[in-house]
């Protein structure tokens, strides 16, 4: 197993380097002179030279790329802070929304999938399947706007925009969490329902039922354990993006998290922030895929890493 992990780590290095290099090249092609875009057309050459020095643009391209590889990001021009400080400030806001939403969503998806698969072809199954298809067909943006209108403008029970720290964060996070759950639960419930149905036709399920085991024990002890591989796959793959946040959601709800930071940095051509976030996200995703493969062997003893 250790040889497999070593090979995967070695393969991760060129993957991350390729992502960073591609991002660096695209920024260099799209934005010829970020200092001019930041300072405006009326800025004189002295001001532009000072801005280029602050952004690290006066260095040769290869030096800029090496600085990026070794996590030496220039200071953000828009926020006038280091990239690490921005991530430290913005990440807890995104996680305060994404982690509760992720846990609630995963629990509901598995519970619904187990229930409707156990009642296949009955009213509950048809009803939930229909709602899931409808939910998958509605754009997430429409759900966000409808939730803002209903809970904010009509009922006036939840704020529709903004953010406050401490205890008051709960009331600002409630509606975004609800939006994330409603916009994604249809896809997850349908996917896990299919996985559970495949397991219900397996020989070990028929054997467990023939032994007279209660249906609840069959579903929760035997079936649920064997559907953990797709659960682990979806869970681990989603973890890196919890930190990045939801771009449209945070922008629409004016939440000062990582998603809003990335959106504003792209609009303002804040290269250091965008490249820093892309770099960290690519590393986190590659690490998550490695952890995902390792957990396969933990969850299912039949899987061996070679």
Domains of the chain, first to last: 87-267 (1.10.3720.10)
Question: Which candidate, 289, 274, 235, places its Cα nearest to that of 102?
Answer: 235
Quote the pLDDT of residue 19. 83
Checking if the pLDDT of 284 tops 80, the result is yes
Alpha carbon of 185 to those of 103, 106, 134, 199, 253: distances in Å? 12, 8, 11, 21, 20
Checking if the pLDDT of 169 tops 80, the result is yes
Checking if the pLDDT of 210 tops 90, the result is no
Checking if the pLDDT of 104 tops 90, the result is yes
Structure-token pair, residue 130: 């229909």
Quote the pLDDT of residue 306. 65
The position carrying tokens 């800025």 is 43
Checking if the pLDDT of 39 tops 80, the result is no
Structure-token pair, residue 167: 């205890």
Quote the pLDDT of residue 149. 92
Contacts 24+ apart (CB under 8 A), 133-139: 133/186, 133/190, 134/186, 135/182, 135/183, 135/185, 135/186, 135/187, 136/186, 136/187, 136/190, 138/183
Checking if the pLDDT of 36 tops 80, the result is no
Contact by Cβ (8 Å): 271, 33: no
Checking if the pLDDT of 100 tops 90, the result is yes
Quote the pLDDT of residue 240. 76
Quote the pLDDT of residue 300. 64
Alpha carbon of 260 to those of 148, 243, 270: distances in Å? 18, 12, 13
Checking if the pLDDT of 273 tops 80, the result is yes
Q: Which residue has the higher pLDDT, 75 or 129?
A: 129
Residue 105 pLDDT class (50, 70, 90 cuts): very high
Question: Which candidate, 248, 281, 280, 277, places its Cα nearest to that of 27?
Answer: 277
The position carrying tokens 């899987």 is 303
Highest mean pLDDT among 40-44, 224-228, 296-300: 224-228
Quote the pLDDT of residue 304. 65
Checking if the pLDDT of 177 tops 90, the result is yes
Highest mean pLDDT among 8-22, 51-65, 129-143, 260-274: 129-143
Share of the chain above pLDDT 70, in %: 94
- Measured between alpha carbons, how far is 243 from 74 in angstroms, rounded to an integer? 21
Checking if the pLDDT of 302 tops 70, the result is no
Quote the pLDDT of residue 32. 66
Q: What is the mean pLDDT of the chain?
A: 84
What is the rounded average pLDDT of the residues 179-207? 88
- Please calculate the CA angle 97-101-102 and round it to the nearest 5 degrees: 115
Handedness of CA 136, 142, 146, 148 (dihedral sign): positive
What is the rounded average pLDDT of the residues 188-198? 89
- Measured between alpha carbons, how far is 280 from 254 in angstroms, rounded to an integer? 23
Q: Which residue has the higher pLDDT, 286 or 35?
A: 286
CB atoms < 10 A from the CB of 262, how many?
Answer: 23
Q: Which residue has the higher pLDDT, 15 or 32?
A: 15
What is the rounded average pLDDT of the residues 59-73? 82
What is the rounded average pLDDT of the residues 139-161? 89
Quote the pLDDT of residue 59. 83
Checking if the pLDDT of 223 tops 80, the result is yes
């Amino acid at each position: 197993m250790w040889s497999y992990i070593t090979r995967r780590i070695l393969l991760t290095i060129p993957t991350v380097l390729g992502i960073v290099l591609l991002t660096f090249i695209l920024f260099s092609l799209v934005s010829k002179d970020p200092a001019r875009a930041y300072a405006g057309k009326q800025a004189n050459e002295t001001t532009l030279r000072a801005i280029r020095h602050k952004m690290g643009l006066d260095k040769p391209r290869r030096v800029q790329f090496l600085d990026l590889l070794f996590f030496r990001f220039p200071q953000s021009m828009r926020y006038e802070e280091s990239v690490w400080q921005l991530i430290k400030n913005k990440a807890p806001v995104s996680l305060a929304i994404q982690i509760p939403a992720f846990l609630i969503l995963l629990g509901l998806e598995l519970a619904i999938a187990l229930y409707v698969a156990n009642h296949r072809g009955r009213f509950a199954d048809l009803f939930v399947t229909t709602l899931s298809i409808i939910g998958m067909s509605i754009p997430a943006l429409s759900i966000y706007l409808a939730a803002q209108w209903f809970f904010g403008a009509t009922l006036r029970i939840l704020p529709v925009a903004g953010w406050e720290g401490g205890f008051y964060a709960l009331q600002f996070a409630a509606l975004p969490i609800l939006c994330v759950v409603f916009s994604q639960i249809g896809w997850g419930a349908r996917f896990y329902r299919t996985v559970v149905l495949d397991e219900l036709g397996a020989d070990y399920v028929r054997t467990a039922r023939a032994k007279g085991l209660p249906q609840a024990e069959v579903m929760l002890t035997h079936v649920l354990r064997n559907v953990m591989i797709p659960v682990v796959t979806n869970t681990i793959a989603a973890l890196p993006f919890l930190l990045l946040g939801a771009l449209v959601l945070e922008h629409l709800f004016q939440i000062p998290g990582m998603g809003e930071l990335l959106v504003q940095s792209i609009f303002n051509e804040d290269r250091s922030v965008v490249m820093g976030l892309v770099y960290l996200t690519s590393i986190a995703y590659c690490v998550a895929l490695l952890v995902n493969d390792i957990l396969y062997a933990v969850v299912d003893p039949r899987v061996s890493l070679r």
